[in-house]
Amino acid sequence: MTRVNPELAKELEKFGAKSATVCFNCGNCTAVCPLSNNSTPFPRRIIRYLQLGLEERLLGRMEPWLCYYCGECSQTCPRQADPGELMMATRRYLTTRYDWTGLSKRLYTSKVWEVFCVGILFFATLAVIYLFHGPIVTDHTKLETFAPADIVHPTGYVFGAVLAFFLLSNVYRMHKFIMRSGERVNAPLSLYFSELGTLAVHFATQAKLRLCTNKSFWIKHWLLMSGYTAAFILVNVDLVTRWSLTDSPPPAWHPAKILWTYATIAMLYATTVAIIGRLRKREPIHKYSHSTDWMFLILLWFTVFTGLLVRIFMQFDLPLPTYYTFAVHLALAVPLLGLEVPFTKWSHLAYRPFALYFERVRERALQLQQPPQEEEA
Amino acid sequence: MPEGYDALVVGGGIAGMEASLTLGDAGFDVLLVEKEPSIGGHMIQLSKVFPTTDCAGCITTPKMAATGKHPKIKLLTYSEVEGIEKTGKKFRVRILKKPRYVDENACIGCGRCEQACPVLIPKEWEYGLIGRKAAYIPFEMATPKKALIDLDNCIMCGRCERACPKEAINFLQEPEEIEVEVKAVIIATGYNLFSPEKKKEYGYTGNLTVIHTSANPNIIHGMQMERLLAPSRPYHALVRPGDGKVPERVAWVLCTGSRDKSVGNPLCSRVCCMYSIKQALLYSSAVPFGEAAIYYMDIRAFGKGFEEFYNMVRELGVEFIKGKVAKIESRNGNPVIIAENTETGEIMEEEYDMVVLAIGLLSNPEAVKALGVELDQYGFVAQPQENSNPAVTDKEGIFVAGTATCPKDIPDTVAEASAAAAQCIAYLEEVGS
């Protein structure tokens, strides 16, 4: 039995899906999409679910995560129903449904909540730094003395563990939705291990996006993703090796430093281009900006920029600017990571590859279930 | 004192001819102004009409002849209305007669100039499927059957001048301003075809009347298919323009430029479903073992006998696939259609020998600009009393008929033309002389 939620399309409007009812189901979007194929056809199927209010089926579909919003469907839609934006809004909606805390929904549907939460974390971080920072040395830049590693690193561990907990518990709920939808699947545990490659490959290469006609999207997106991943790894490595948070920073040719430079340039370039694009609104992907899109870009841009400033100030041995900028850098990074990664836009970093991974596991499990039926026939 | 007429009919297509004939038969003096060198409009170019599959030319040609020879109808071809002014009960109309560079009274339509002319360019009347000369007669059944010289493409060699037995060629002809006085006007300016190159995804890179520059000349538009199927067709055989092969698999792409906001036209063109079904039927009889497929969003078979016609063609084996064609690519010179079959949810990629883009009907606002009547948001002539007085415009004494008000089929157009003429007669009786 299928339960229908007649309010589904209306609910999605809050996430930016304003034109789902305009669609007359001609199928242009699905055929024009370079990523859509016969085993996972979209966007029309998803739009149909919105129109019919098939909430449970929508929750179990991973197609929204396959769409990278190249915008060809929106450009050619005869009804100007903006299928690309409908897919984007569905991703926002799904993010709130995967999240069990309810915070995600508040962040997506209320600008007040969004600004309030970012503000709280920003000022709380500044307060913590104000209360717990080490001695301020002014004749030389001694960042480690200002921000003692034995405080910063444990805090980082706890913060990271909390984020991972929220994100992974949401991924688990996503898994439940996908496995429960349609034909019932009991996937053996071994499949989850043997298909881990899918997860890794899609996370690292974003190969699906390369199928889009406009290749520049893939390059920009990959720069951003790889820059972020590099920064993430370096921060973690730093927790062990303590190579950056030190009073005597390593020389410029240090491999870790080269990687940092790459991460900074890649992220700064990609976010700047995205901000300009969203202001110009020329490409379909940049035509509609949800408040969370802006928040994400602004936080990320300033985080990277202040990080760069810290390095420059350290290089020129300017103690006070270094400490202040570092404090602001942390105060921006905390809401960026704390809100964007598990609850809003950045969670797609996990959902996209996991969607492909779960779908693959599901597909293989269905294949394993099938042979006995064939013998009967 | 300018020449006076009872009524001016603007446009010499089927609507304009029908209105003129009705008025003329009722004893009124009519001036028919046509911007092309011949009357006949789009209908004379068509193959057959739906759903009766009567020969379009066999209906239009007698009308053209009757219009041309009617004692009460004066023809002014290759002319355009420049301006109109109402003084009292009458309209003073300025008409520009473009130079044909051929003396119309002297020309006997023998076609010697055409034979002598060395210039060859795409023939607009055949939508670029074949060529014409710079000195030419528009088409076989042209009314009036008089030559004209296309000075833009003429190389001034003078061969036509020497070939003409009546010394009718006159390169010194000037545009002529004519002023007339009429009591009423009927607008029958018709429609413009959608230019298929505007729908970039469909790979048609020529333009409406030029196909040889197209990246894939086996992607043609509906009017070109009409010409290929017409009894007076250009190759005297049904072959595809790319290489002359008899197309064994043909697909029709409905709603090319209609019901499509991405190209700026949300309106249904009302005829493409039926003309495509008719073309598929005619194709099936021309190539008995050929496969025909029609890609549609909805089949709008709303008129008398349309649904029956559609069902008959479907039962004859023409394939109907529900789904808007997203793009047309090329493989080995063959067009490849990419669409979602929305009945099965399957994404299809099908190769055909030839694809026909069923282009729609757009408004023709330039043609009515000089008349100053109110247009609707799509550029069609507005009908303030659409339900009670459909032929009435916002200007008293100016009536409208046919596709100038919205896309419509031939029976509706002819009926409207008669209606407009009848309302015009009532108006003329009222204003008196």
Position with higher pLDDT, B309 vs A349 = B309
Q: Is A32–B327 a contact, with Cβ atoms under 8 angstroms apart?
A: yes
Query: Chain A residues with CB inside 8 Å of B342's CB?
Result: 25-27, 44
| Predicted local distance difference test score (pLDDT) of residue A151 | 82
pLDDT score of A117 more than 70: yes
Question: What is the structure's pLDDT at A243?
Answer: 65
Q: If you ran DSSP here, which 8-state letter would residue B404 be given?
A: G
pLDDT-derived band of residue A369, with 50, 70 and 90 as boundaries? confident
pLDDT of A376: 46
The verdict on a CB contact (< 8 Å) between B345 and A41 is yes
Q: What is the number of other CB atoms lying within 10 angstroms of the CB of residue A199?
A: 18
Pick among A26, A29, A73, A287 to test the B interface (most B CBs inside 10 A): A26
- HSE at residue B180, side-chain half, CA atoms within 13 A, is 26
- Give the separation between CA A205 and CA A218, rounded to whole angstroms: 10
With a CB-CB cutoff of 8 Å, which residues 216-255 of chain B face chain A? 255
Which tokens go with B190? 């018709």
Strands B176-187 and B398-400: parallel
A20-24, A176-180, A296-300, B132-136: lowest mean pLDDT where?
A: A176-180
Do residue B271 and residue B292 come from a single domain? yes
In chain A, the residue whose alpha carbon lies closest to the alpha carbon of B264 is A78
B327/A77 touch (CB, cutoff 8 Å), yes or no: no
Does one domain contain both B208 and B313?
yes
Question: From the candidates B337, B340, B344, which should be mutated to test the interface with A, based on the most A CB atoms within 10 A?
Answer: B340
Pick A76's closest partner by Cβ from B201, B339, B340. B201
Task: Tokens for A343, please give them.
Answer: 């609850």
Is the pLDDT reported for residue B42 higher than 80?
yes
Round to whole Å and give the CA distance between A205 and A188.
Answer: 27
Q: Are B257 and B282 in contact (CB under 8 A)?
A: no
**Residue B415 predicted with pLDDT over 60:** yes
Q: How far from A209 is each of A352, B223, B354, CA to CA, in Å?
A: 11, 40, 33
Biggest CA pair distance of chain B:
71
Q: 3-state DSSP call for residue B381? A: strand
Distance, C-alpha B67 to centroid of its chain: 18
Domains defined along chain A, listed by start: 8-98 (no CATH), 103-364 (1.20.950)
Contacts of the segment A162-168: beta carbons below 8 A, 24+ positions apart: A163/A337, A163/A338, A163/A341, A163/A342, A166/A99, A166/A101, A166/A342, A166/A343, A167/A341, A167/A342, A167/A347, A167/A350
Separation between Cα atoms, residue B109 and residue B104, nearest integer Å: 9
Q: Is the pLDDT of residue A372 over 70?
A: no
Confidence band for A190, pLDDT divided at 50, 70 and 90: confident
The chain B residue lying nearest A36, using CA atoms, is: B347
Amino acid at A126: L
Residue range of the domain that includes B65 = 3-97+175-191+363-431
- Pull the structure tokens for residue A64: 């929204």
| CB-based burial label for B235 (10 Å; 0-12, 13-18, 19+) | middle
Q: What are phi and psi of A93, to 5 degrees?
A: -60, -45
pLDDT at B372: 93
User: What is the overall mean pLDDT for chain B?
Assistant: 95
Closest-approach residue (CA) in chain B for A80: B261
Q: Which amino acid is at A26?
A: C
Distance from CA of B325 to the nearest CA of A (A): 6
Q: What are phi and psi of A266, to 5 degrees?
A: -60, -50
Nearest residue in B to A81, CA atom: B261
- The total number of residues shown for chain A amounts to 377
Please check the confidence at residue B334 and state whether its pLDDT lies above 90: yes
DSSP at A14: T
Residues in chain B closer than 8 A to A24 (CB atoms): 297
Residues B200 and B335 grouped into a single domain: yes
Q: How many domains does chain B contain in total?
A: 3
Can you give the pLDDT at residue B368? Answer: 94
Q: Are the C-beta atoms of B168 and B106 separated by less than 8 Å?
A: yes
Query: What residues 144-203 of chain B have any CB closer than 8 A to a CB of chain A?
Result: 201
Q: In the 8-state DSSP scheme, what is residue B347? A: E
- Residues B224 and B328 grouped into a single domain: yes
pLDDT tier, A229 (very low <50, low <70, confident <90, very high otherwise): confident
Instruction: Enter the tokens of residue B12.
Output: 């010499």
Examine the domain organization and report whether B186 and B206 are in the same domain.
no
List the CATH number of the domain containing B321. 3.50.50.60
Contact between chains at A27 and B340 (C-beta distance less than 8 A): yes
Interface size A-B, in CB pairs within 8 Å, comes to 62
pLDDT of residue B432: 79
Pair B331, B261 in one domain: yes
In the block, which residue shows the tokens 């709603």? B255
Tell whether B297 is within 8 A of chain A (Cβ). yes
Residue B236 has pLDDT above 50, yes or no: yes
d(CA A127, CA B333): 70
> What mean pLDDT is reported for chain A?
88
| Residue to substitute from B325, B341, B347, B349, interface A, most A β-carbons within 10 A | B347
More confident residue, B272 or A235: B272
Among B360, B383, B408, the domain boundary falls at B360
B63 and B81 assigned to the same domain: yes
Question: Which residue is it, tokens 């790894």?
Answer: A233
Q: According to the model, what pLDDT value does residue A244 have?
A: 64
Q: Which residue of B has its CA nearest to A73?
A: B326
Helix/strand/coil percent split, chain B, to 5: 25, 30, 45
Share of chain B above pLDDT 70, in %: 100
Output b/e per residue, B98-114; b: 16+ Cβ within 10 A.
bbbbbbbeebeebbbbb
A79 to chain B: which residues are within 8 Å by CB? 261
With 50 as the cut, is the pLDDT of residue A377 above it?
Answer: no
Partner A contacted by B262 (CB < 8 A): yes
Q: Which of A29, A32, A36 to mutate to test the interface with B (most CBs of B within 10 A)?
A: A32
Q: Is residue B107 in some structural domain?
A: no
Average pLDDT over residues A111-137: 92
Q: Which of B337, B360, B383 is the last residue of a domain?
A: B360
* Residues B283, B230 contacting (CB under 8 angstroms): no
Residue B248 and residue B148 share a domain: no
- Nearest by CB to residue B324, choosing from A27, A36, A45, is A27
Q: Confirm whether B169 is domain-assigned.
A: no
For residue B148, the one-letter residue type is L
Nearest residue in B to A35, CA atom: B347
Q: Which of B201, B260, B342 sits opposite A27 (nearest CB)?
A: B342
Asked if residue B102 belongs to a domain, the reply is no
Q: What is the mean pLDDT of residues A56-83?
A: 92
End-to-end CA distance of chain B: 16
Q: Assess whether B71 and B125 both reside in one domain.
A: no
Residue B282 lies in a domain: yes
Residue of A nearest to B258 (CA): A78
pLDDT given for residue B246 in this prediction: 96
User: Is B317 in the same domain as B285?
Assistant: yes
Q: In angstroms, what separates the C-alpha of B252 from chain A's closest C-alpha?
A: 16
**B105 within a domain of the structure (yes/no):** no
SS3 of residue B97 by DSSP:
strand
Is the same domain home to B326 and B251? yes
Whether residue A44 and residue B323 make contact (CB cut-off 8 A), yes or no, is: no
The last residue of a domain, from among B327, B344, B360 = B360
Q: Do B327 and A31 touch (CB under 8 A)?
A: yes
Instruction: Extract the tokens encoding B32.
Output: 């028919």
Q: Is A87 exposed, middle or buried (0-12, 13-18, 19+ CB in 10 A)?
A: buried
Residue B240 corresponds to which amino acid? R
Is B356 found in the same domain as B207?
Answer: yes
- Which of 345-364 (B) contact A at CB < 8 A? 345-348
Of B262, B327, B341, the CB nearest to A78: B262
Q: What is the DSSP letter of A370?
A: S
pLDDT at A138: 85
Is B104 a member of any domain? no
* CB proximity list for A234: less than 8 A, separation 6 or greater: A244, A256, A259, A260, A263
Q: How far apart are CA A277 and CA A279, in angstroms?
A: 5
Q: How many CA atoms lie within 13 A of B18 on its CB side?
A: 25
Percent of chain A with pLDDT over 70: 95
Decide if B290 is inside a domain. yes
Q: Is B34 contained in some domain?
A: yes
